[in-house]
Chain A
Amino acid sequence: MTNTQTNTPDTLPKRPIYMRRGPMENLATAIIGLGFLMMFQPFVLALYTWSFITLLAGTVMFIIVSKFPE
């Protein structure tokens, strides 16, 4: 009985937020979205210059964090 209780998700130690898939995937998606906006915006050339690295960072981050446990 005690064993069953200790194995429930409520009693498991919580992972830090940067190790959880959900929030980190959302963050990566936001970075990809930001990179997209920077790449296709018509206002500031400097934003376009930095857009690729932002997009790349977001995409790599998405690939990594999508392997994290929920």
Chain B
Amino acid sequence: MDNDTGMIDRAATVAARATPPRLVRRVRGLSDKAIAWLFIAPTMILLLVINIFPLIWTIQLSFTNYRANRPNAEVVNVGLRNYERLLTDPDVWIAMQTTAQFVFWSILLQTVIGFSLAYLIDRKFRGHAFWTTVILIPMMLSPAVVGNFWRFLYQPQIGLFNYIVSFFTGVEPSSFEMLGSVSLAPWSIVIVDTWMWTPYVMLICLAGLRSIPDYIYEAAEVDRASPWRQFWSITVPMALPFIMLAVLFRGIENFKMFDMVNLLTGGGPGSITEVASITLKRQAFEAWRTGPSSAFAIILFVAVFGLANIYVKALNRVKQR
């Protein structure tokens, strides 16, 4: 122990000697608080420049009629009119509903499949480490890559997906088009999102399952509880905070879902898969209505921020366990 302290002292002395005397003199004059601020300052400045400044600017733009393609035009303050229009516009309301439907179905599927996979992986069968890695692969891919290769998989003529469906159902592969059909296009996005993000939910659920101590199951077995009873009375309640965490994580991410929808359907056919982020992009960069689109971005930001608050609360509960 004394030996360790001596080594640390020697290392500190060497480090102090290596510091230029001018810097030593300057640092000695600073309080601990000032040195702490000195360390935090670069991050704070970066955050202010990259996050806070654009946010404040967006809030300011949301009260104007500014158009980014006409930077020299007069900018008029329109008050709350942008918000008023967006919150009474049936098209925007429909985009919100579409987003909610995507979020609901993709999270439901991801949670059910993810938890089931975690439960299976937790059994520790032979080669479970290998299969865990295999299952995690989709999560590691870039959404751009995933979107592009699923476009090929969904091709009615050459797509593997249509042939697999045809193999199991007997339906002609070229008789349906996943991305072009009004009834199937929303499901095509839900399938891809589920395929990509189920491993993530599985990973969180697995952490929850691994945190359950074995002695609880042993006590339940002594009390002759059936595996079914153990599952519903021990496994599910104890893994529930983790499942909630996964749901909230995916919920926040899915509300912002843009890349996958943009690559697969671009909001089409018609506007059947037009989620809120696609509407926002169309308003901002196709119609060039920067002011109203800023207001829309703020509405979405408040929604996600509210959800993030609930997430932080849930996270604290998990920590307290």
Contact = CB atoms under 8 A, between A and B. Distances in A.
Contacts of B313: 25, 29
Contacts of B47: none
What's the dominant secondary structure at chain A's contact region?
Answer: helix
Interface centre among A29, A33, A39, A49 (most CB of B within 10 A): A39
B34 interface: no
B242 interface: no
Nearest to B305: A59
Q: Which of B90, B97, B309, B313 has the most CB of A within 10 A?
A: B309
A45 B299 contact: no
B150 interface: no
A45 B303 contact: no
A42 interface: yes
Interface string B96-139: 11011000000000000000000000000000000000000000
B96 A40 contact: yes
Given A40-B97, A40-B99, A52-B299, A32 B310 contact: yes
Interface string A45-61: 10011011001101100
Given A29-B313, A48-B96, A55 B306 contact: yes
Nearest to A33: B310
Interface residues of B, number: 18
Contacts of B97: 40-42
A63 B99 CA distance: 26
Contacts of A39: 96, 303
A55 B303 contact: yes
Interface string A10-53: 00000000000000010011001101100111100100110110
Majority secondary structure of chain B interface residues (helix, strand, loop or mixed): helix
A62 to B, nearest CB: 5
A55 B302 contact: yes
Contacts of B302: 52, 55-56, 59
Given A42-B97, A45-B90, A49-B87, A29 B310 contact: yes
B34 to A, nearest CB: 26
What range describes how many residues of A lie at the interface? 20 to 34
A36 B303 contact: yes
Contacts of A58: 306
A25 B96 CA distance: 26
B175 interface: no
B306 A59 contact: yes
A45 B93 contact: yes
B93 A48 contact: yes
B189 to A, nearest CB: 17
Contacts of A63: 309
B306 A49 contact: no
B289 to A, nearest CB: 18
B119 to A, nearest CB: 29
Contacts of B307: 32, 36
A59 B96 contact: no
Contacts of A62: 306, 309
Contact of A32 (B90, B93, B306): B306
7 contacts: A25-B313, A36-B306, A36-B307, A39-B96, A42-B97, A52-B83, A62-B309
The 10 closest A-B pairs by CB, nearest first: A40-B100, A32-B306, A59-B306, A62-B309, A42-B97, A49-B87, A48-B93, A55-B306, A55-B302, A56-B302
